[in-house]
Amino acid sequence: FPHFPCSPTPLGVLPSFGFLFDIDGVLVRGRTPIPAARTAFQKLVNSQGQFLVPVVFVTNAGNCLRQKKADQLSHLLGISQDQVMMSHSPLRMFKHYHEKCVLVSGQGPLLDISQDLGFCQPITIDTLREKRPLLDAVDHDRRPNVLVSGDFSVVLFGEPVRWETSLQLIIDVLLTSGYPGNPYKQENYPHIPVLACNMDLMWVAEAQSPRFGHGTFMVCLENIYKKITGKELKYEALMGKPSRLTYQYAEHLIRAQALQRSWEQPIQTLYAVGDNLMTDVYGANLYNRYLQETAAHCRSVLVCTGVYTPHTELALDTRDSIPDTVFHGHRDFRFDPALVEPDHIVPDVDAAVDLVFQLENFAPN
């Protein structure tokens, strides 16, 4: 965890809340900073540049290391990589898979990312493509030693560049239990484990309209698998917003920051600030339901600088009549109109910070 200098905090301004900030569509659009972000962050730090409240940046991006994402935000303020949570960050907890051979799909420095998370034997789609000859299924000596059947899994980090290649080879691996080149066997079910990060159907960059996200790639993979086998593709784990796993891990990071700063006031409320109804709002509200057994809360704050724009979305009071057919969430998450109802809607992240400080009667010196 990052080193937070333990300077004393004046009485009366100890935070009992923390922020979970989405990045794309909230702080930046593509590589372009959103102007309100700079103003917002001036309110979140003191004159020494220390955060006044615990803050974690929770992004569904998974195509780079945490440090690179922290560096990309350095134009706003200096942050530690331990304040950045990528969609794949919870994979650190999946130690059971770290010693196994894993086929990794996505883009960016996949081997570096995999090894940073603890995986010892990652294999990229490109490596598999290069080493996979036409195989004689009977001649064991000619089988490649790249994959080890029976102790093998697939990790989907994010949308790849060449979708057709990744879709083909992942299907090959699933239908042959890790021996692509062998004939498909329908009895290979349940298939080898699949762990997926980032279920966003779409995301916002500089373009005027949203772009395909990893969730779209997953829709393709799921439907191809079902079309060929007649069975559902199963996930060992889904992470990234809106999964509960992601918010649990983010809450752990928030509480660790408070501990580092010796803030003794218990963290009672998490404010999740995002631009996407189906990930940020749905995820925060879903986690709030989970927290109902405790004294803590997770509140959803929707900004209008990204995927969500008030001009194109259906009016909130008609949300109950939205049919399942327009649910942009992942197949394994149930559509519930209440879960896409934000607790607050604000124009931008600066207004979100103002709102939360007002709600919490938080007036730092």
Of 6, 195, 207, which Cα lies nearest the Cα of 89?
195
| Euclidean distance between CA atoms 159 and 288, whole angstroms | 29
- For the stretch 163-191, pLDDT in tens is 999 999 999 999 988 888 788 887 789 99
Is the pTM higher than 0.75?
A: yes
Q: pLDDT below 50 — which residues of the chain?
A: 1-6, 9-12, 133-140, 142-144, 148-149, 313-325
Contact in structure between 73 and 23 (CB atoms under 8 Å): yes
pLDDT at 312: 56
Residues ≥6 apart with Cβ < 8 Å to 42: none
Neighbour-count burial of 18, counting CB atoms closer than 10 A to its CB (0-12 exposed, 13-18 middle, 19+ buried): buried
pLDDT at residue 318, rounded to an integer:
39
Report the DSSP pairing between strands 211-212 and 202-203: antiparallel
Residue 163 CB contacts under 8 Å (≥ 6 apart), including other chains: 217, 220
Q: Of 252, 250, 240, 323, which Cα lies nearest the Cα of 282?
A: 240
Q: Is 177 left (phi over 0), alpha (psi -120 to 50) or beta?
A: left
The pLDDT score that the predictor gives to residue 211 is 86
130-152 pLDDT tens trace: 876 443 333 445 444 555 445 78
pLDDT of residue 37: 94
Q: What pLDDT was estimated at residue 152? A: 86
